[in-house]
Chains A and B, each alone.
Chain A
């Protein structure tokens, strides 16, 4: 998932970026209002974390402008302004969530996950596709009864595919949502990670869940695709 972190307090940015990236998020940074506006309108982020007191352009002004321009991105306000009026005002201007500083990193992460679930119209934090189970809160992945360990980036890719299961996901989409602005764009990095995933998920199972649509991209097998391929024997849950 790709986030935009709009925050001008450098030590906080540094710590937060590290924390988020270690959770598998791709994090873009904006240190002032203008930069934030530029990046938010140019990229389709999954979530924007927005501070309110920003140089050059105020956070609430940005929020109002984005919402009136029709931007659908989920926005969580992260600010030191903790009064009730500020919260009400922020939410009323179109923010999806509001978190005051100082905050617990876990809470921020949970709220981010909730926003992402909402973005994909699902309420259950556990994604189940065939015999694959992805617990988005604990980030545990199981295939059948077998627990699978994944790196943050592998997990992020799998989660992204799982949220779009049954649909084709292009390489560009994957690139856009899993890599931040600083990552080097190499043509086969997505393919490399798909291969890693296949090794961990499909290897040893009869039914391959990660399918390749030549010329288009990849997809995680949807429920409709069951009869097309033979069912794996032990479909335990």
Chain B
């Protein structure tokens, strides 16, 4: 057997699977896109960070080189002259060119801008330790006085440098760019402009000390043993306290180059430079450092590996997030599925409960008790019409049953009384020997009772016949006036025997197309009724006339009449105006029921006008149309 609940649940489940599947696919897709986007931007960020850190490292190296470069002005040439000064005058006599040393000597002897300028112009050189400076790339240091230092890696042409790029006012400035060095070697380059802030006397190149070299301090830098506190450098950096630059204190004098830190503004600020020989000349270094992708700089390698690591982490993160989303979606889907299936089962149960109540109630209905144990108005709108209709049907059925029961009780009652009379009559007659006259009387009485009973049975059969639909209407042209006269001929003696006045008013001629047998039955029944229920000395009148639609028959009596509340009941079977009046047994409440049935079959109308105590008037309208043979 099909279950509505199961069907509903299966359909809802199927629908749910489709809906959940679509939603989950959509959500998964969207999440995947978002995660990919996130991964991509995170990757970009990592790349950016990498580029920034690489540039930072480049810059750091450039700065370190700048620091180193400015520490390695080489005034050695000059010092040689200085050491030979006492012989300078002497030398004047020997060499035409030896007089050149004189201003140099003077220049060194007189510290100040002029001395510095001369030093810079004539006696300085840029020297960098090759192994220190350019292990991991290409380095080129330019100076604005024309000295250039290039690392060995730069075998090819010079790295191009456009000095005009740099702002003259800025002391420190740098640019990053991509450059093609040679034969398609692409490299990242930084160009750094840095001011030359001091020079230092280099005594001699010593063995490099590894720990200092890593700091980018010029190797073999030693204080001058003869003039330990001698300062050589731009006068605006001169310390009047006479603290000469040393390996330790020199650090503090240098502008603190380093990653992420800007050189502090010196106090007092340097005067603006005009030109190389102007009052406030500021010598400048241009350091270029370039790294190609093959550079094995540890810093770069570290950055590179960190970048790769981060990318790998991002990929892993992405995968993990996706797995997580998948798992979540799966659980959400399963949870929703379970909830909807269980909840749906319950909800459908709740929804179907009125139906169950109805079916329970219906199953309790029995033929004994036609009550539906349920109040239909309490049911939901969808079900209550069914219940209401069913209840109505049950009530109709109950009424029909009650009618049937009463009818059979009536029939048995109507038959029992004459039967009792018959048996009693016969028994009494048989109790002892009697005279012929007495026997005869008994037989006469018995015959009378039997006739009454047979008439009763006949009427009941007639009604049953009508009920069964076995009766057939046979219409023909009927002369109603003659028919009424015929009935009156039978009724008149009966009426007069009861002391009643009998009157006939029939229109002549009066014809109608109908079934004469039925009409005769109707008229006779009405006449019998009028005679039976009349008062002594009353009258019975039958009238027949034509009407627009056919004919009208009226049978009037002066009997007891029928109260208004019973007027629609008198056509029911076994109904009598006087409930106990069964003395004659003939009419037994069936006459008017038969009249009504016949009039209905003939397509006519039966009505009654009555006043209690003064008589009744039964009116039959029979249509005169073309009444064809109708069954039942």
Contact = CB atoms under 8 A, between A and B. Distances in A.
B424 A19 contact: yes
A16 B431 CA distance: 12
Nearest to A78: B420
Interface string A25-52: 0000001110000000000000000000
A123 interface: no
Contacts, number: 90
B579 A58 contact: yes
Contacts of A22: 428, 431-432
A62 to B, nearest CB: 11
A31 B578 CA distance: 14
Interface string B9-30: 0000000000000000000000
B201 interface: no
B428 A18 contact: yes
A164 B431 CA distance: 29
B416 interface: yes
A103 B418 CA distance: 11
Contact of A101 (B417, B431, B448, B581): B417
Contacts of B418: 9, 11-12
A100 B409 CA distance: 13
B424 A12 contact: yes
Contacts of B409: 81, 83
Interface string A202-223: 0000000000000000000000
Given A16-B424, A19-B428, A104-B427, A8 B416 contact: no
Interface string A128-150: 00000000000000000000000
Contact of A11 (B416, B445, B580, B581): B445
A105 interface: yes
A100 B428 CA distance: 18
A84 to B, nearest CB: 12
B286 to A, nearest CB: 132
B583 A9 contact: yes
A15 interface: yes
A176 B323 CA distance: 119
B212 interface: no
Nearest to B441: A14
Interface string A44-68: 0000000001111010000000000
B416 A10 contact: no
B438 to A, nearest CB: 9
A52 B301 CA distance: 127
A82 B412 contact: yes
Interface residues of B, number: 28
A80 interface: yes
A62 B247 CA distance: 150
Given A19-B424, A82-B412, A102-B416, A10 B431 contact: no
Nearest to A9: B417
B305 interface: no
B580 A105 contact: no
Contacts of B414: 80
A56 B419 CA distance: 23
Contact of A104 (B416, B421, B423, B425): B423
Contacts of B585: 9
A101 B413 CA distance: 8
A15 B424 contact: yes
B449 A81 contact: no
Given A9-B417, A22-B432, A82-B412, A105 B578 contact: no
A101 B585 CA distance: 14
Contacts of A102: 416, 419-420, 422-423
Given A8-B580, A15-B445, A55-B583, A80 B420 contact: yes
A54 B417 CA distance: 12
A103 B422 CA distance: 10
Contacts of B416: 80, 82, 100-102
Interface string A171-203: 000000000000000000000000000000000
B151 interface: no
Interface in B568-586: 578-583, 585
Contacts of A15: 421, 424-425, 427-428, 445
A100 B416 CA distance: 9
Nearest to A103: B420
Closest 10 CB pairs of A and B: A12-B421, A101-B420, A15-B425, A80-B416, A19-B428, A102-B420, A80-B413, A15-B424, A11-B421, A102-B419
11 contacts: A8-B581, A9-B585, A11-B422, A11-B445, A19-B427, A53-B579, A55-B583, A80-B420, A83-B409, A101-B420, A104-B427
Interface of B: 409, 412-414, 416-425, 427-428, 431-432, 445, 448-449, 578-583, 585
Given A11-B448, A102-B416, 11 more contacts: A8-B581, A8-B582, A9-B421, A12-B417, A14-B425, A22-B428, A55-B581, A102-B420, A105-B423, A105-B427, A105-B431
Interface of A: 8-12, 14-16, 18-19, 22, 31-33, 53-56, 58, 80-83, 100-106
